Structure 1
Amino acid sequence: MKTGDFEGALLSRAGLASLDLGGETAHDALFAVVLTGDDDLLSALGRASFLARNGIDVVNWHSAKSPEIHEHLLLNDMYAASHGVFGVPSFLVGDELFFGNDQLDFVRAALHPTTREGAHP
């Protein structure tokens, strides 16, 4: 994602809003752009292009500013802190905490314990 003067928590709230509205695809697109994308989410035109290209309803983006989503993010933050999360990306599978992109194969293995360790299911 292009960097600049941008409220990072808004992306977290947009991800929650997308999940709350049943948009797993939108959530995945936001996750991908934050970690590896070069999309422009700073400008209105860049956001509109990103939303349209990924089939994300603009309502999701606007609902990210709602009091309900703010509360949801606060509760998630408190839950994460109580389980030792200290940065992003972090993944909690059961009681096991995985931190960093380099841990994704271990996350997959924890989620699918019947597959070979580190193998992609």
Structure 2
Amino acid sequence: MQRPVVSLEEFPMSTLEFYFDYRSPYSYLALSQVRKMDVEIAFHPLELGDLMVRVGNVPTSLTCEPKGRYVMTDLGRWAVHYGVNLNRHPLASEIDASRLLRATLVAGQLGPMSTAVDAIFDAFWSVPAPLSTAADVAALLGTVGFDADELEKRMDTPAAQALLEQATAEAASRGAFGVPTLFVGDEMFFGNDRLNFVQDYLAGAA
């Protein structure tokens, strides 16, 4: 059964909503700092490519070669600034990232989504772990307390794909155009480099 898209009323002002795709290194970097904030985090996995199509955005770091080169330098600077390990999975281009997102949504129906998010982000961007198959992803999440058999059975089903499409459509309807996108109430913030604004807004909303 599909999990309905939640209404904004379900999240108090002290909750930060975090929209992400595992393919985004800036989402990984942003989460490393959001975790340090004194705020409840509600996670929203989304399919970045689908989101961009829905809102008419384009991945300029891929279509513009000079920007793509700069982004690699920029990412290294942010990783040093935050003191985090940024180590892209050596098989990243071969991993079905949509499966990772579907697995996360299913995991959220079985237990704390936050635990699944941390495990997959770490495996993709910090300490590489096998993620090539559904069994790999299920095994990884099994190590952090999820029912691996149930996850493997459900993550590649049409129902799981429908959850991902629904989540992406919901993000588009709220005005998201990329990741990471963060909301506090109706206030939207985009990008790893806007976290100081998030903190200021949270302080004012407290």
Structure-1-length-normalised TM-score: 0.68
Aligned to 2:97: 8
Among 26, 35, 43, the alignment partner of 2:116 is 26
Of 73, 79, 92, the match for 2:170 = 79
Aligned-pair identity (%): 35
Aligned CA-pair RMSD: 2.9
- Asked whether the equivalents of residues 17 and 61 of structure 1 are also in contact (C-alpha less than 8 Å), the reply is no
Taking the aligned partners of 1:96 and 1:43, their CA distance within structure 2 comes to 37
- Listed as ranges, the gaps of 5+ residues in structure 1 are 115-121
Tell me how far 1:16 sits from its aligned partner. Answer: 0.6
CA 1:111–1:15: 2 relative to 1, 3 Å: farther
Conserved 8 A contact 2:110-2:146: no
State the partner residue of 1:119. none
Contact 2:181 2:189 in 1 (8 A): yes
Higher relative contact order (CA 8 A, sep 6+): 2
1:50 counterpart = 2:136 = no
**TM-score between both structures, scaled by the size of structure 2:** 0.44
Write out per-residue CA displacement over residues 42-100 of structure 1, whole angstroms, 9 at most, x where no aligned residue: 26786466334323321224312122221111111111112221222222222222222
Shift of residue 106 of structure 1?
4.3
Paired residue total? 113
Structure 2: give runs of 5+ residues left out of the alignment: 1-87
Larger radius of gyration: 2
Report the CA distance between 1:5 and its aligned residue: 0.9
